[in-house]
Amino acid sequence: MSFLERIPRRIIFLTLIIVVVVPILSPFPLPVPITKNTRNYYNIIEALEPGSVVFYGTSVETRDIEAYPQHVATLKHLKEKKAIVITYCFGAGTALGQEWVYEDAGYDELEYGTDYVHLGFVPGGDATLTAFCNDMVATKQVDHYGNPTATMPIFQKVKTIHDVDLVIASGGGTPGPDTYARIVVIPYDKVSIVQVPGAMAAMVYDFINLKVFRGGVIAQRGAVEYEAITGHAGRATTTFAPIFISSIVLILLMIFGNIAYVSNRMKEGQ
């Protein structure tokens, strides 16, 4: 029993390597039931008319297994619905990461400035976002690539946040989904959905319950569900098996470690 209580770290690390590598080398599909939040998220995008304007606060910095597949699957779905997308970033890294997302979702095949625009990094957090809602072009005069926004066809139609049909908030901190909720969604009564990594899930459950966000893709599980529902199996689906197996192993380790702990304390008590 004492071994189970104190398994050496090298054995734990070796176990983790095995349970991660094996499912990557021989992947297997997992049946993941669709949750209410993901279903609502899908339904909101599915209901968009062609030409609807979507304001998308993006947060991809790396090709990870949570934010990145959430964004790619969302943009693929938006592309199918022929939505016009405006992306806005609170960080310089996320502005660069969004370039991959556009490419990997196939948005770069569409006409830039007409079908989508990447505004890139916008410094100033709350204050700038507030100004942006009132006058987009005056607040962000050039896009991520240095092109003037005033002459873009998108901004002939979209002047303020009132011209936006859907707000998609994402991110894993502040500024992030709560910033979009406070400054964009609640004051302007916009229809909005959210996507967050698992570590930040607790932050958005309240907003979802209050219907500030009408749906949510939460954690890698949410991304897997959304990829399944849209039929675009991607990075979240292909990397889910290692997470599944390693979680089972971790839960077993925690349970047996605690059984051993309690058993040993009881023996010491006797």
Q: Rule CB under 8 A: say whether 243 interacts with other proteins.
A: yes
- By beta-carbon proximity to other proteins, the closer residue of 150 and 251 is 251
- By beta-carbon proximity to other proteins, the closer residue of 47 and 127 is 127
For residue 14, what are its two tokens? Answer: 């070796």
Quote the least distance from Cβ 270 to other proteins, whole Å: 18
Are 95 and 120 spatial neighbours (Cβ–Cβ below 8 Å)? yes
CA atoms within 13 A on the CB side of 223: 28
CA atoms within 13 A on the CB side of 171: 22
203/253 Cα distance (integer angstroms): 28
Quote the least distance from Cβ 32 to other proteins, whole Å: 6
| Sign, CA torsion 123/186/200/222 | negative
**Contact with other proteins (CB under 8 A): which of 52, 230, 246, 263?**
246
Q: Rule CB under 8 A: say whether 263 interacts with other proteins.
A: no
Query: Quick one: DSSP state of residue 181?
Result: I
Q: Rule CB under 8 A: say whether 40 interacts with other proteins.
A: no
Q: Which residues contact 53 (CB under 8 A, 6 or more apart)?
A: 83, 84, 86, 154, 157, 158, 163, 164, 165, 166
Quote the least distance from Cβ 113 to other proteins, whole Å: 14
The position carrying tokens 């991959």 is 100
**Contact with other proteins (CB under 8 A): which of 21, 22, 24, 202?**
202
For residue 75, what are its two tokens? Answer: 């943009």
**Contact with other proteins (CB under 8 A): which of 18, 24, 47, 127?**
127
Q: Which residues contact 17 (CB under 8 A, 6 or more apart)?
A: none
**Contact with other proteins (CB under 8 A): which of 130, 230, 238, 263?**
130
Site for other proteins, rule CB under 8 A? 7, 9, 12-13, 16, 31-33, 61-64, 93, 96-97, 99-100, 122-125, 127-128, 130-132, 134-135, 138-139, 144-146, 198, 202-203, 205-206, 209, 219-221, 243-244, 246-248, 250-251, 253-255, 257-258, 261-262
